[in-house]
Amino acid sequence: MNLLSGRAKEETQFEKMWVQFLSLFSIFLYLSNGEVNPGPVVQTSYGELQGFTINLENGQEANIFLKIPFALPPIGNLRLEKPKAPEKWQGTLNATSFGPACIQHGRQTGYTDVSEDCLHLNIFAPHEKPTNPEKYPVLVWVHGGGWVAGGAVSHGYSGLANRFVTHGIVVVTIQYRLGPLGDERFPGNLGLWDMRAALKYLKKNIANFGGNPNKITLMGGSAGSASVSMLSMSPSTRDLFEQAIQISASPFAEWTTSNRVIAETDKLAEQLGCKMKDSLELKRCLKNKTVDEIQDAVEVVGTSRYDLNVVLFGPRLDADFFPNDYPDLIKESPKKPTMLGMAAEEGGFFTILGLARSLNELYIPKDQFKNYKRNKLVKFIRNIVAPEIAFGEKKAKEAQNKIIDFYVNKQVPEEPDYKFWLQRYTQLFSDIGFNIPILKEVQYKREYDWPVYLYLWEHFNPENFEKDLPIKGAFHGIEYPYLFDFFLTGKFEFDENDRKVQKLFIDSIANFVKNGNPSTDNMTWPPLDKEHMFRHLSLSTMKSPQAVVRWYDAVRWHRTKFV
């Protein structure tokens, strides 16, 4: 725990800055979403909705509907229960402002407008009625945040509308319960059941907004990406949509699936005075606690752990939502076209940026960067990556030695500085937390004949980072500015390379949503096959504008460095 000492003051200052940034950013989203015009009224299965219309950058218009209830508020006796279908309402419901985010796991996530009454979705659709009788294809975004933080408001509507509605796509963003209110031991996986409720609502109602209920693509980032994969496998949800886009996470990572949530539920319950053996009595006790009481208890027990599995409350294999393990579910599930990828330096978001601090304990504070040396990396491997308590003494030493040999001893310069060791630390967490689990999922899906399109995002703009940051690269979340106008580290101006990478990525996603194939007019993107198990599209640019053009016109293919 030496890596974590002496940083409480920095944590407090950082969390305050992050809260202020997200609050100001949310205000900016409302003020910058384009010219607003009176919008149409849409009839749904539950009642009428009044939205509004905005002008898009290309001269088109989009209809915007916000805070659409897809389930009853999970409050009172419905807390800690599976979602129930919404009730019908009289009159016309105002759908012109975002609803609150779900209760976060802890008070320091940056979201100040939160509520248990949060099971809403938002729809952004072309204003022009579809000429195709099958209507517009639908793209559903599942936000990330480690199942403990996040909300739809952060992604706004202007960026998504200008990116995808202009392509003739209906876009939907959803919310789901988080932390101990969304993932605990009874029945568990409530956040995933909420996603199911949202999909069932869309199957029933999206045609009223111009969307095709039989052409739904799910797209998610980070925990949202792992969730999309889980939804594509579970018998409870896999028939509710047709395609998947997974950005930077897989359920094969330890942090995405763990039965440790059972013990964490008991710890939190004990802190709340609900230490009861009977699950029904325990649930009743937790239902009677206020949100403030729960948040007070969270502050005592913590929001994450110093471990490769940083998430305290997340999904688990429960014999209900998941009646089998993941490989068997992949084998028996419908073979959905899947676009799946990772960033080149995923771990940097956690190891040296330290963003979303309520999610992890792996961050090295800035004032300790220069103190990070070989011995600290070795200690991390021995105590956290491959500890004796998990492997047993003999196997632990064998695993430790192999990991140390690969990440610590190979290709070391004569006088490595702290930047070198921070890079190796970042590479290690990138591989364990993201790259290897993603490629494991790719292997299974390819083995069982899923159409898989793999990519590696390598491009980054140095202006996205502080000048003195020891490592710069394509970190976790690098795609967000290009998808949503959502800048995790502060807004930067796009250069020519940014715009070209963005165009390729957006065009590929749009084509995939429409046709099940991400190829564009300038680039053929083949799916994986048994001869090319890890062939992937590399989204990278070089300093020379001519090189960028050549890359863009003729995408370079190679076997991934992780094989």
Cite the active site residues.
222, 346, 476
* Half-sphere CA count of 492, side-chain side, radius 13 A: 18
Coil, strand, or helix at residue 162? helix
SS (H, E, C) 422-443: HHHHHHHHHHHHHHHHHHHHHH
CA dist 548 and 539 (Å) reads 11
Task: List CB contacts of 100: < 8 A, sequence separation 6 or more.
Answer: 113, 114, 115, 117, 118, 151
Helix (H) or strand (E) run with residue 229 in it: helix 223-233
Q: E strands, 344-440, where?
A: none
Pair of tokens at residue 126: 């072309």
CA dist 111 and 378 (Å) reads 37
| 58 class by beta-carbon count within 10 Å (0-12 exposed, 13-18 middle, 19+ buried) | exposed
Got the DSSP string for 4-49?
GTT-HHHHHHHHHHHHHHHHHHHHHHHHTS--EEEEEEEE-SS-EE
Identity of the amino acid at 504: L
* Widest Cα–Cα separation across the chain: 74
CA angle 401, 406, 408 (to 5 degrees): 80
CA dist 389 and 340 (Å) reads 34
CA dist 332 and 55 (Å) reads 45
Pair of tokens at residue 479: 């795609």
For residue 311, list its beta bridge partners. Answer: 304
CA dist 128 and 183 (Å) reads 40
Got the DSSP string for 71-110?
S----GGGTTS---PPPP-SSEEE--SPPPEEPPSSS-SS
CA dist 403 and 397 (Å) reads 10
Eight-state DSSP code of residue 318: -
Rg (the chain; Cα; Å) = 23
Q: Are 485 and 159 in contact (CB under 8 A)?
A: yes
The neighbour count for residue 7, using CB atoms within 10 Å, is 17
Pair of tokens at residue 418: 């702290």
Identity of the amino acid at 15: E
Q: Which of 454, 456, 475 is nearest to 466 (CA)?
A: 475
Strand bridging mode 61-69 / 48-55 = antiparallel
Coil, strand, or helix at residue 334? coil
Q: Are 314 and 222 in contact (CB under 8 A)?
A: no
